[in-house]
A = this chain, B = another copy of it.
Amino acid sequence: MTSKDEPATQPPGDGFHVFDTTLRDGAQREGITLTVADKLTIARHLDDFGVGFIEGGWPGANPRDTEFFQRARAEIPFRHARLVAFGATRKAGVSVADDPQVRALIDSEAPVVTVVAKAHDRHVELALRTTLAENLAMIGDTVAHLRAHGRRVFVDCEHFFDGYAANPDYALDVVRTAHGAGADVVVLCDTNGGMLPARVQAVVRTVLADTGARLGIHAQDDTGCAVANTLAAVDGGATHVQCTANGYGERVGNANLFPVAAALELKYDRRVLPAGSLREMTRISHAIAEVVNLTPATHQPYVGISAFAHKGGLHASAIKVDPDLYQHIDPELVGNSMRMLVSDMAGRASVELKGRELGYDLAGDRELVGRIVARVKAQELKGFSYEAADASFELLLRAEAEGGPQRFFRLESWRSITDQRSDTGCENEATVKLWAKGERIVATGEGNGPVHALDQALRAGLERTFPELARLQLVDYKVRILEGRQGTRSTTRVLITTGDGTTEWATAGVADNVIAASWQALDDAYTYGLLRAGVRPEE
């Protein structure tokens, strides 16, 4: 439990399995729909991270999964992971050799197959509509058949914990049958996610003692305990953990791969990933979120941008003494970093620390810090949030430090027009009227949306005066509707991320109008970019 140390250095072997099912079970999350290209990209990230097994989907169940296995074999030079096909036991009353679904598992050429088996007697009778004995035969036949075809077999015992509570003898028979037929790992699944850690640990321990099978755990997060349930199963003797990246999965989700891996490596001091992998965790978590098109969860343990962010004034002053007093691990161990937040709760200490982070020593100037704090509070009242807009905060700080805003141009007016005819697409046009270096500029831009058109107009207007703008690129654009508390009209906050090829910065705009808010964020984005490029602002 020496959390500050690097993990131990022996390589992870077959003794402990980190098994990822993002591509199969994770894809069941509400809002996720993966293309084959998405699945291939995620598989590369997971292999980079160093999981031992990647469950890619259910070949034969849909054309996308069948194609994924073909292309993954051909296109991905796996360094750490083995590819796993997921499927069911043979149908009741059919010979396993004649079952097309089992055939598709073999045809996928995946070296490992996970077979899902019913372990709860009611499910066998009501959902599968067969006898308890036939279900056992289906499990035994399917495992033996896949083994005979040279596959390594894991068996997922669906609804195991509920089944064990209802009919322990039958649930144990399922484990024994799978084990006896040659399954390498028998995975106990909390499919409905209702378990708590103490119960999981006790059941795993009993099943291990009773059957001698190698056990795995698959936990859903319906009680908010999937990570703890997974670790409890390890405490009980499981040596195979099934997880998904960022905890994606049906309903609440699955056990989150990242906190499980981090706890095993850093808290259990157990080597479950290749050396160096843990430091990639934050990057890989965010990259996978991008591929599935979800915003990375800001408050996710270890990898969220808030995971090591400090806001409270009490803490902020103590952190200046010794940061290790206030963090459970060094964030760099998981590729994350400590952040100080600018907020009206934190006050002077946070502003000083944030200033230092940005390269300004404010400690000597109490009056300046006071002005900055007051300005931040006033802006936050309007709906601004500087926590995610460092560049806008830095412009605010410089404006206070240097006696006025840093400006490269002065707005006279802008106009945005969007036209839609039923028979053609949408057309967007914007016109800006500006003053820069004493000259009046009128420029028009078109775009695929009103903000894009405004951006194009601004660039067209300024590019002759400031050729440095050519290097700047809009990287990301986010809109947040801040709902009116008493049903009044809402406010819009826009966050824009801009890059110059070497670094990126974020700016914010707030208005009761999405275009006006975008204008503010664009104005800050280009102003900051020109300052970074070394251009001197107007007096």
A contacts, CB < 8 Å to B: 1, 3, 27-31, 33, 122-123, 126-127, 159, 165, 191-194, 196-199, 221-225, 227-229, 231-232, 235, 250-253, 256, 259, 262-263, 267, 290-291, 293, 298-302, 304, 306-312, 315, 318, 321-322, 325-329, 341, 343-345, 380, 385, 387, 410-422, 426, 428, 448-452, 476-483, 485, 489-490, 492, 511-516, 519
Task: Determine if A311 and B250 form an interchain contact, defined as CB atoms under 8 angstroms apart.
Answer: yes
Q: List 20 A-B contacts (CB under 8 A).
A: A30-B306, A30-B341, A122-B325, A123-B318, A123-B325, A194-B328, A194-B329, A221-B301, A250-B309, A251-B308, A412-B421, A413-B420, A415-B418, A420-B516, A426-B511, A450-B513, A452-B489, A477-B481, A478-B481, A514-B514
Are A410 and B426 in contact (CB-based, < 8 A)?
no
Known: A3-B194, A318-B127, A515-B418. A222 touches B252 (CB 8 A): no
Q: How far apart are the CA atoms of A485 and B31 in the complex, in Å? A: 16
From known contacts A197-B197, A421-B413, infer whether A224 and B227 are also in contact, taking CB-CB under 8 Å.
yes
Q: Is the CB of B252 within 8 A of A304?
A: yes
Q: Which chain B residues border A227 with CB–CB below 8 Å? A: 223-225, 228
- Docked CA distance A179–B402 (Å): 54
Query: Is the Cβ of B422 less than 8 Å from the Cβ of A293?
Result: no
CA separation between A46 and B306, bound complex, in Å? 26
Question: Are A298 and B30 in contact, CB atoms less than 8 angstroms apart?
Answer: yes
Residues in B neighbouring A232, C-beta threshold 8 A: 197-198
Taking a contact as CB atoms under 8 Å apart, the answer to whether B420 and A126 are in contact is no
Q: How many whole Å from A119's CB to the nearest CB in chain B? A: 13
Q: Are A301 and B222 in contact (CB under 8 A)?
A: yes
Bound CA span A33–B380, Å = 8
Give the residues in chain B near A256, CB-CB below 8 Å: 224
Chain B residues with CB under 8 Å of A416's CB are: 416-419, 450
CB distance from A354 to the nearest CB of B (A): 13
A335 to B429, CA, bound (A): 48
Interfacial chain B residues near A426, Cβ < 8 Å: 511-513, 515-516
Question: Across the interface, do B33 and A197 meet the contact criterion of CB distance under 8 Å?
Answer: no
